[in-house]
């Protein structure tokens, strides 16, 4: 049986490659065999692993693609789509590979698939006269930031602080960064796009229409096509910005008051100020016992004098001092947030691989109202008991609250904050993964009374398969899973995404474990998921 499967896979791979190389190849930009990596090639493993960022999916048991196609021209994408449809071969699309569940390069539902790896389609073209840029989706945020910094000291872009994240996934899932209270999300600054659709046609904003353009700015581009590039508006930033990191522990007796006050103040502060709060467990410097630590990491778009004035008036409980503040520029503030030594040359932004790879799991929640001091104390006790999971609170307010929840597919703008559950570990193997993921699930369950409900909201770019998997086989009637997933990620915007999906990809060619499904709105509307734990 296994031998027959391997023979069939080999035949399918050969037929697919032949179609790529001959019938649909563009004579001006032919696909060479060097851009196609099969499992028998020595280059296969290196190419596959080059953009795996979660070691949970870098092992012998992880399902691998039959082959990898690395396009260097848009015609290669068109050819890959047409050839895949011809041979009924499923396609995965990878840009930076930071997706937390590995959905862009592995599969838990498809037995035969290939990987379209966008890493070589990474050009970035700036037009400083119009303050815009075209960024191909295989580029990284670091490459985008480097290009901006080389051309201007007073321009930036409101996206994430991890330089090796890929533009494709970050933008299409409504990326955010530490300027979101001033400028909103990445998708709020996208003004055009190029996409290869299911028919292999290249579309821009005008030819794809406003519905599809709306969908790929936060609804996940891989549900609708292969996004080749995004056009963005740059934003103005001061030459001098200020960062700080202040830490408090339970043994200092003030952590509960400061954390409680952060919830009330952080979303209402001057929009130039973003203060992330991190809760984790450390060993006490005095007793060596486990204790809760609260860290406050900030970016202020201005100098330290104005920052100190704002903090004294609005958040004196933190006790920020001038000596806590570091004045720097925008690029160095990214290094600060990413725990990269300040003073590191800007060329470091071009580094595609993180310093260290780990096994990891992430989850997300949204905070709608402040957690009481009693509730915080209960959370602190649970975290100390579990020891390893951490919580990152990212404040909203400012520009985030000024944009309508249906302006883009991202619907969570009116919350106080987003919570990210963070857990990294170094041990390999299923047993270790089950242990650490189990700890995170316990903390997630413990947080249920304190976060959004009906639905319990989640952030698309923090993919979480605990929420469910779409098998895209409606004979099994998994409408409930599709609905619960969709409403958790998109709330009221899910219905519009489903309708767009049905129009632009009726055969559901572009799919993954949590993509937008092809399903009638009548059937979708008949599902009531409010009793779900999601």
- The DSSP secondary structure of 130-156, one letter per residue, reads TTEEEEETTSBHHHHHHHHHHH-SSEE
| Residue 125, beta-bridge partner list | 134
Question: What domains sit in the chain, N to C, each tagged with a CATH number?
Answer: 1-119 (3.30.43.10), 122-234 (3.30.465.10), 239-326+357-445 (3.40.462.20), 477-523 (no CATH)
> Can you tell me the mean pLDDT for 217-229?
97
Q: Which residues have C-beta within 8 Å of that of residue 276, sequence separation ≥ 6?
A: 178, 296, 297, 298, 392, 393, 394, 395
Check residue 532 and give its pLDDT.
33
Check residue 526 and give its pLDDT.
47
Q: Is there a contact between 217 and 337 (Cβ–Cβ < 8 Å)?
A: no
Return the structure tokens found at 119. Answer: 């890493």
> Can you tell me the mean pLDDT for 177-182?
98
Instruction: Match 């009638």 to its residue by tokens.
Output: 520
Going by the DSSP 8-state scheme, the letter that residue 54 receives in this structure is B
Q: Which residues have C-beta within 8 Å of that of residue 153, sequence separation ≥ 6?
A: 239, 329
Q: How far from chain centre, in Å, is Cα 112?
A: 25
Q: Which residues have C-beta within 8 Å of that of residue 487, sequence separation ≥ 6?
A: 455, 494, 529
Check residue 253 and give its pLDDT.
62
Looking at per-residue pLDDT, the higher value among 444 and 13 belongs to 444
Q: Is the pLDDT of residue 198 over 50?
A: yes
Q: Is 200 left (phi over 0), alpha (psi -120 to 50) or beta?
A: left
Check residue 522 and give its pLDDT.
58
Backbone angles phi, psi at 149, to 5 degrees: -65, -30
> Can you tell me the mean pLDDT for 279-285?
90
> Can you tell me the mean pLDDT for 86-107?
94
Tell me the catalytic residues.
462
pLDDT band at 421 (very low <50, low <70, confident <90, very high): very high
Q: How far apart are CA 461 and CA 98, in angstroms?
A: 9
DSSP 190-209: EEEEEEE-TTS-EE-HHHHH
pLDDT band at 530 (very low <50, low <70, confident <90, very high): very low
Instruction: Match 């007073």 to its residue by tokens.
Output: 154
Q: How far apart are CA 460 and CA 218, in angstroms?
A: 8
pLDDT band at 27 (very low <50, low <70, confident <90, very high): confident
Q: How far apart are CA 204 and CA 130, in angstroms?
A: 19
> Can you tell me the mean pLDDT for 462-468?
96
Check residue 177 and give its pLDDT.
97
- Three-state DSSP class for 371? coil
What pTM was estimated for this model as a whole? 0.94
What tens digit of pLDDT does each residue of 160-169 get? Answer: 999 999 999 9
Interior angle at CA 227, CA 168 and CA 80, nearest 5: 115
CA neighbor of 533 nearest in space, from 445, 461, 465: 445
Q: Is the pLDDT of residue 1 over 60?
A: no
Range list of H helices, 274-340 = 304-314, 330-337
What tens digit of pLDDT does each residue of 352-390 get? Answer: 988 889 999 999 999 999 999 999 999 999 999 999 999
Q: Is there a contact between 241 and 327 (Cβ–Cβ < 8 Å)?
A: yes
> Is the torsion defined by CA of 336, 174, 394, 119 positive or negative?
negative
Q: How far apart are CA 485 and CA 465, in angstroms?
A: 10
Beta strands in 301-389 (DSSP E): 325-328, 359-367
What tens digit of pLDDT does each residue of 132-156 get? Answer: 999 999 999 999 999 999 999 999 9
pLDDT band at 475 (very low <50, low <70, confident <90, very high): very low
The greatest distance separating any two alpha carbons of the chain, rounded to the nearest whole angstrom, comes to 73
> Is the torsion defined by CA of 154, 150, 127, 133 positive or negative?
negative
pLDDT band at 262 (very low <50, low <70, confident <90, very high): very high
pLDDT above 70: percentage of residues in the chain: 93
> Can you tell me the mean pLDDT for 465-488?
78
Q: Is the pLDDT of residue 533 over 50?
A: no
Instruction: Match 């904003």 to its residue by tokens.
Output: 205
pLDDT band at 527 (very low <50, low <70, confident <90, very high): very low
Check residue 7 and give its pLDDT.
66
């Amino acid at each position: 049986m296994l031998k027959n499967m391997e023979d069939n896979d080999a035949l399918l791979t050969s037929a697919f490659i032949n179609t790529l190389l001959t019938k649909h190849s563009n004579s001006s930009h032919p696909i060479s065999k060097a851009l196609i990596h099969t499992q028998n090639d020595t280059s296969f493993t290196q190419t596959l692993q080059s953009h795996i960022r979660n070691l949970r999916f870098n092992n012998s048991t992880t399902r691998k693609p039959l082959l990898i196609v690395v396009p260097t021209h848009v015609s290669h994408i068109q050819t890959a789509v047409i050839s895949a449809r011809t041979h009924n071969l499923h396609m995965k699309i990878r840009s930076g590979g930071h997706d937390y569940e590995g959905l862009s390069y592995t599969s838990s539902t498809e037995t035969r698939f290939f990987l379209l790896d966008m890493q070589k389609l990474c050009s970035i073209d700036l037009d400083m006269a119009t303050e815009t840029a075209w960024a191909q989706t295989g580029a990284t945020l670091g490459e985008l930031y480097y290009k901006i910094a080389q051309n201007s000291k007073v321009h930036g872009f409101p996206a994430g602080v991890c330089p090796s994240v890929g533009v494709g996934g970050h933008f299409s899932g409504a990326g955010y960064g530490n300027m979101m209270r001033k400028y909103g999300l990445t998708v709020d600054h996208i003004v055009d796009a190029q996409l290869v659709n299911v028919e292999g046609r290249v579309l821009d904003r005008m030819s794809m229409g406003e519905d599809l353009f709306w969908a790929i700015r936060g609804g996940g581009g891989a549900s609708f096509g292969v996004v080749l590039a995004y056009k963005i508006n740059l934003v103005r930033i001061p030459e001098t910005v200020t960062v700080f990191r202040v830490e408090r522990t339970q043994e200092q007796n003030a952590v509960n008051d400061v954390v409680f006050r952060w919830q009330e103040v952080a979303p209402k502060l001057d929009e130039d100020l973003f203060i992330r709060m991190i809760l984790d467990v450390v060993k006490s410097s005095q007793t060596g016992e486990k204790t809760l630590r609260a860290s406050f990491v900030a970016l202020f778009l201005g100098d330290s004098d104005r920052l100190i004035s704002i903090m004294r008036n609005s958040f004196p409980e933190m006790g920020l001092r001038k000596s806590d503040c570091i004045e720097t520029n925008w690029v160095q503030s990214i290094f600060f947030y990413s725990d990269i030594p300040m003073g590191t040359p800007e060329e470091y932004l071009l580094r595609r691989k993180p310093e260290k790879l780990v096994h990891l799991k992430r989850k997300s929640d949204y905070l709608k109202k402040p957690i009481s001091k009693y509730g915080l104390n209960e959370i602190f006790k649970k975290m100390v008991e579990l020891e390893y999971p951490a919580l990152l609170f990212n404040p909203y307010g400012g520009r985030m609250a000024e944009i309508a929840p249906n302006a883009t597919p991202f619907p969570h703008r009116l919350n106080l904050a987003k919570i990210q559950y963070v857990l990294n570990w170094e041990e390999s193997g299923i047993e270790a993964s089950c242990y650490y993921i189990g700890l995170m699930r316990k903390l997630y369950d413990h947080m249920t009374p304190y976060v959004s409900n009906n639905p319990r909201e989640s952030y698309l770019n923090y993919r979480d398969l605990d929420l469910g998997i779409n098998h895209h086989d409606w004979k099994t009637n998994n409408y409930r899973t599709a609905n619960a997933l969709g409403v958790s990620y998109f709330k009221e915007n899910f219905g519009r995404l489903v309708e767009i999906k049905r129009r632009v990809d009726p055969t559901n060619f572009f799919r993954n474990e949590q993509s937008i499904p092809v399903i009638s709105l009548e059937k979708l509307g008949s599902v009531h998921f409010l009793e779900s734990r999601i």
